[in-house]
């Protein structure tokens, strides 16, 4: 059995999900969203993400982490800030000596829906089909579950 934490990084909403993989079986454990205080400075929001992801790792003791690779937005500043949030989550996981696997958004979508350009609704529907116990309340939470599931599916092929 392998416990996987999936992370969908964001400065306003960092989605997270924990699943277990046992052979071809997948089991939903928990999921949610880290919500840094919007009125705080950038460094304080990044520290908040770091602390909360650290707590998640301590609570759920994952064996592996799967995280989405930042895509380049039209606005370079947005991409840079998203990269900061992603780095805060990565450092929190790496600090716990948990192996980290990174995937592009289109590979995650393709692993779940067979379409690399699937929309969020298609991803949500597949999450619900593959893990009926999961009840994601936000797109960030749904994406984090999808990231964990994609890793569970792709890791057996060494991708």
pLDDT in tens, 81-124: 889 999 999 999 999 999 999 999 888 888 888 766 777 788 88
Interatomic CA distance for residues 40 and 142, integer angstroms = 26
Which residues belong to the active site?
8, 68, 140
Provide the whole-model pTM. Answer: 0.92
Percent of the chain scoring above 90 in pLDDT: 70
Interatomic CA distance for residues 54 and 42, integer angstroms = 18
- What tokens appear for 56 in the block? 């998640």
Contact partners, residue 138, CB within 8 Å, separation at least 6: 13, 15, 33
Whether 40 shows a pLDDT value over 60: the answer reads yes
Whether 61 shows a pLDDT value over 80: the answer reads yes
Whether 158 shows a pLDDT value over 70: the answer reads no
Q: What is the DSSP letter of 3?
A: E
Q: What's the CATH number for 2-157? A: 3.30.420.10
């Amino acid at each position: 059995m392998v416990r996987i934490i999936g992370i969908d990084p964001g400065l306003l909403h960092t989605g997270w999900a924990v699943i277990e993989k046992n052979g071809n079986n997948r089991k939903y454990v928990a999921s949610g969203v880290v919500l840094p205080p919007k009125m705080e400075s950038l460094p304080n929001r990044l520290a908040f993400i770091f602390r909360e992801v650290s707590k998640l790792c301590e609570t759920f003791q994952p064996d592996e982490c799967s995280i989405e690779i930042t895509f380049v937005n039209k606005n370079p500043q947005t991409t840079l800030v998203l990269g900061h949030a992603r780095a805060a989550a990565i450092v929190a996981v790496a600090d716990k000596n948990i192996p980290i696997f990174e995937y592009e958004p289109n590979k995650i979508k393709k692993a779940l829906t067979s379409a690399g350009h699937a929309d969020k609704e298609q991803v949500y529907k597949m999450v619900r089909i593959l893990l009926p116990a999961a009840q994601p309340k936000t797109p960030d939470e749904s994406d984090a579950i999808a990231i964990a599931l994609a890793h569970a599916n792709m890791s057996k092929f060494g991708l």
